[in-house]
Chain A
Amino acid sequence: MTALLIGAIIYVILDFALLYRIFRGPTAADRMCAADALDLTTATALVMYALYTGRAIYLDVGLVVALLGFVGTVFVSRYLEGRI
């Protein structure tokens, strides 16, 4: 189904908007916020690509990317808070 591939390409294009915020963001919290959103969009694009090609391995990769993005965001925000 071609709509899945088109959706994945749209997500990758939207990633560049978030990358611009990571480069430009005034404070570290801005950068971490955009990086968290980038993790989720990348994982969702991987899910759509897995459904398009029919290979389940990309689905596993998307799950691990989402999980590591959550753990990384929580650790970095604890560090920014000054408690680590």
Chain B
Amino acid sequence: MNIAVTIFLVIGAFFTFVGALGVLRMPDVFGRLQASTCIATLGTINIVIAGILYAASSDMSAGVIVKLILFGLLVILTNPVSNHALCKAAYHMGIRPEKGFEPDDYAADFGAADSAENEVKEEA
């Protein structure tokens, strides 16, 4: 059982490393958001599975397992909501990728006004 816990811990730590590297190295906000989603889904969920296996194998109380399942469900349900809100806020602030969006559905929804007016200058 310890080997399974260690394997899940290594997978979770690897995906968190990839996500942190993506947040450091991606060129714009949308790429960084997409990389930071990797931390929440693949990293945290693998750690939670490892924690459930460890708590079940080492005679911890049932409350610990229930709290771990609650933590995993909370992360799965809340992370897409917060990332979508942040992405929409970045669009409204006038941030665009360097190459532009190919299908730009937000421009059809919100009007081309706020895409042309306020271009945020990046301070290098």
Name the prevailing secondary structure of the A interface residues: helix
Complex: chain B residue closest to A72, CB-CB: B82
Closest A residue to B67 by beta carbon equals A59
Are B23 and A51 in contact, CB atoms less than 8 angstroms apart? no
B residues near A (Cβ < 8 Å) are: 2, 5-6, 9, 12-13, 16-17, 19-21, 23-24, 29, 32-33, 36, 39-40, 43-44, 47-48, 51, 54-55, 58, 60-61, 63-64, 67-68, 70-71, 74-75, 78-79, 81-83, 85-86, 88-90, 92-93, 95, 120, 122-124
Q: Are B47 and A44 in contact (CB under 8 A)?
A: yes
Could you tell me the dominant secondary structure of chain B's interface residues?
Answer: helix
- Give me the 8 closest cross-chain CB pairs, A-B, nearest first: A77-B89, A29-B90, A70-B78, A73-B82, A80-B89, A37-B36, A77-B85, A26-B122
From A28, A36, A56, A80, B36 is in contact (CB under 8 Å) with A36
Q: Which residues of chain A come closer than 8 Å to B82, judged between CB atoms?
A: 36, 70, 73-74, 77
Closest-by-CB residue of B relative to A14 is: B20
Q: How many A-B contacts at CB < 8 Å in the complex?
A: 148
Interface residues in chain A, defined as those with a beta carbon under 8 Å from any beta carbon in chain B: 1, 3-4, 7, 10-11, 14, 17-18, 20-21, 26-30, 32-34, 36-37, 40-41, 43-44, 47-48, 51, 54, 56, 59-60, 62-63, 66-67, 70, 73-74, 77-78, 80-82
| CB pair A4 B23 closer than 8 Å | no
Evaluate whether A48 and B51 lie within 8 angstroms (CB atoms) in the complex, with A4-B9, A41-B16 already known.
Answer: yes
Whether A47 touches B60, Cβ cut-off 8 Å, given contacts A30-B32, A63-B71, A73-B86, is no
CA distance A40 to B15 in the complex (A): 13
Q: Taking the nearest CB of chain B, how far is it from the CB of A59, in angstroms?
A: 5
Whole-angstrom distance from the CB of A19 to the nearest CB of chain B? 10
